[in-house]
Structure 1
Amino acid sequence: MKLTIVNAVMEKREEGYFGSVQFTLEQHASLYEISLHSKRGIDWDYSLNFAKESGSEEELLAADSLIETDDDLFNLILDAAEEALAKE
């Protein structure tokens, strides 16, 4: 499934790494935002939400399932956030 990154930010704080990435997925109507957190930049926790107005809950759950099961897709999102950190 095609992923398009719209915006990505990441910062390193004393407590760890915090970032967010806004993106769209092919055949999904909504803009999503994933919030990322890692204490050491190795193991990542995330939360997926609609970036603007609410959309289809079914599509949100499908997007979350894709991110959970497709390492390549998650890595594309994480790479965008890490590149944003490197640019600072």
Structure 2
Amino acid sequence: MQITVLNASMMYSEDNGYIGKVEFKATEGTTAYEVALFSKKGKEWMYSLNFTKESGSEEEITFIEEKLEEDDDLFDFLIETALSRLERPESADEDKPDGE
């Protein structure tokens, strides 16, 4: 299955872990999807699949869900895409000049 990434983001905080999303469109369907990703430590990932804007057919989302479950390379690609956009909150220590 070929996909086109439309948008991706990822944030990390010590309290919440990794929270991200990837919006994409599959060549097999007509609807855009969003996979929301969560991992406390960045090793085991949970996800939720939704339509991005407008709802499509149940058959389409079921097909995408099955692909995410079966195709580890696809799932890893989505995680890596979100991680490539990782934003970390700046530490207060980074704002202090050296020696303070």
Give the TM-score normalised by structure 2: 0.83
Query: Contact 2:37/2:46 (CA < 8 Å) preserved in 1?
Result: yes
Counterpart of 2:23 in structure 1 is 22
Q: What is the alpha-carbon distance in structure 2 between the residues aligned to residue 86 and residue 15 of structure 1?
A: 13
Runs of 4+ in 1 over 4 A off after TM superposition: none
Structure 1 letter corresponding to 2:5:
I
Listed as ranges, the gaps of 5+ residues in structure 1 are none
Question: Percent identity of the aligned residues?
Answer: 43
Quote the offset at 1:3 in angstroms. 1.1
Matches within 5 A, 1:26-37: 26-37=27-38
Flag structure 2 segments of 5+ consecutive residues without an equivalent: 90-100
Task: Give the letter for the 2:58 counterpart.
Answer: E
Corresponding residue for residue 3 of structure 1? 3
Between the aligned partners of 2:68 and 2:51, the Cα distance in structure 1 is 14
The structure with more radius of gyration: 2
Aligned to 2:55, what secondary structure does the other structure show?
coil
RMSD over aligned Cα atoms: 1.5
1:87 to partner: Cα distance: 9.2
Aligned residues: 88
TM-score normalised over the length of structure 1: 0.94
